[in-house]
Amino acid sequence: MMDFKDLTHFAPAERAPKEVYNQDFRLLSDDRIVVEVLRSLPNIVLVLNEHRQVVYYNNALLSALGIDDGADILGMRPGEIINCIHSKETPSGCGTSVFCRYCGAVLAILAAIDGGSETRECRIRYKDEGKEAAMDLNVTASHTVLCNRAYVVFSINDVSDKKKRDVLEKIFFHDVLNTASSLHSAIDFIINSPDKSVQSEIIKLLPKISSRLLDEIRSQQNLLLAESGELKITITSIESKAIIMELIDEYQFVNSFEDKHVECDPQSYAVNFWSDHTLVKRVLVNMLKNATEASKHGESVTIGCEQTQAGFQFYVHNVGIMPEAVRMQVFNRSFSTKGNNRGIGTYSMKLLGENYLGAKVRFESQPGLGTKFYLSFEMDKVGHMPLV
């Protein structure tokens, strides 16, 4: 007999057989009150058994999936219906991967199975036509007795648009206002300073500050276009060390890094390759921001490029270590250790790097190594030539 305990890293793996969950479906379908109540609810509602499997659903789910018959949904778990990327991490499916320990949906359902009722936020990364996408959900799971049997009534409210708008607006206004304030201060200093030599030096900075302001506006515009699938890429020749130095110069000018030292690895691999300069730079900027924000005063951040067996990769390294709860959620949209309405930077690394650049975005974080984010390109996906 199969030992289901060996097939999970979190929630129980065991499932009810088909004849059992089909029996539940028939039982609930014959109860007119249950059918009418669930049909009247605007949100997606699933009725789950004690193994977190769907035994009944309302029409809102069928509408969301664009199907007429939900027979194939019976016996599935919520993450499997949504096509959550972590529902395929283990053979046992939704709820059993190490990532599921921090999933709001699984945690709420487990609380309801124990007899409670719980509402949580849930961040889902899923596959849509081969590309990764994201959803933000509010989910409620409640222990309920229907037809003299115990079930979990699980409702889903998709708040992706609101979350996306809140996050983008907060980051957009935060970054743009900071840069606009720098521009205003520089202009005010030029007007009011009696020292002509100082005025001349400040005037030289204006193009850089205004360029930064335009870059912040374009970056938010590009992210919105990327999420809607409308972003167009422009392929140009890029030199790895040149873009690294460009990044360090521009980012250090704007942020000054307080007393955090940012440097280019002197052993960096020099390579010419073909890609979208703006998007490569945007991914690396977000990696650099993430590393400097995670660093303590006086710590160093290193950015570089190295050759790999398949091609080459950029990397950004800082000495800090992420706790497990952060590692498991780091690429989820809206997840952040810096408070509410943040968390778009690491998510956009994945979105832009993988969906548009055809690269691979990943990270390592462990004692003795620190934290290292990678943007990896394969030889057969981008033309490149090592520099002598």
For residues 257 and 18, the model is more confident at 18
What is the three-class DSSP state of 74? Answer: coil
Ranges of each domain in the chain: 4-158, 160-232, 234-388
% helix / strand / coil in the chain, to the nearest 5?
45, 25, 30
The topology (CATH level 3) of 4-158 is Beta-Lactamase (3.30.450)
Give the pTM: 0.75
- Separation CA 258–CA 260 (nearest Å): 6
CB-based contact 63:44 (threshold 8 Å): no
Q: What is the pLDDT of residues 262-302, one digit of tens each?
A: 899 999 999 999 999 989 998 998 899 889 888 888 888 99
- In CATH, what class is 234-388? alpha beta
Average pLDDT, integer, range 176-187:
82
Is 60 exceeded by the pLDDT of residue 37?
yes
Phi and psi torsions of 166, nearest 5°: -60, -45
Task: Please tell me the predicted confidence (pLDDT) of residue 264.
Answer: 94
Task: Please tell me the predicted confidence (pLDDT) of residue 170.
Answer: 67
Strands of the 131-146 sheet, one edge to the other: 54-57, 44-48, 149-158, 131-146, 117-128
User: Alpha-carbon dihedral of residues 53, 55, 58, 61, nearest 10 degrees?
Assistant: 30
Is 90 exceeded by the pLDDT of residue 200?
no
Task: Please tell me the predicted confidence (pLDDT) of residue 1.
Answer: 43
| Tokens linked to 29 | 């379908």
CB-based contact 290:337 (threshold 8 Å): no
Is 60 exceeded by the pLDDT of residue 39?
yes
Q: What is the pLDDT of residues 78-131, one digit of tens each?
A: 999 999 999 999 999 999 999 999 999 999 999 999 999 999 999 999 988 888
Task: Please tell me the predicted confidence (pLDDT) of residue 195.
Answer: 81
Residue 29 CB burial class (10 angstroms; 0-12, 13-18, ≥19): exposed
Q: What is the pLDDT of residues 120-166, one digit of tens each?
A: 999 999 988 888 888 999 999 999 999 999 999 999 999 988 877 77
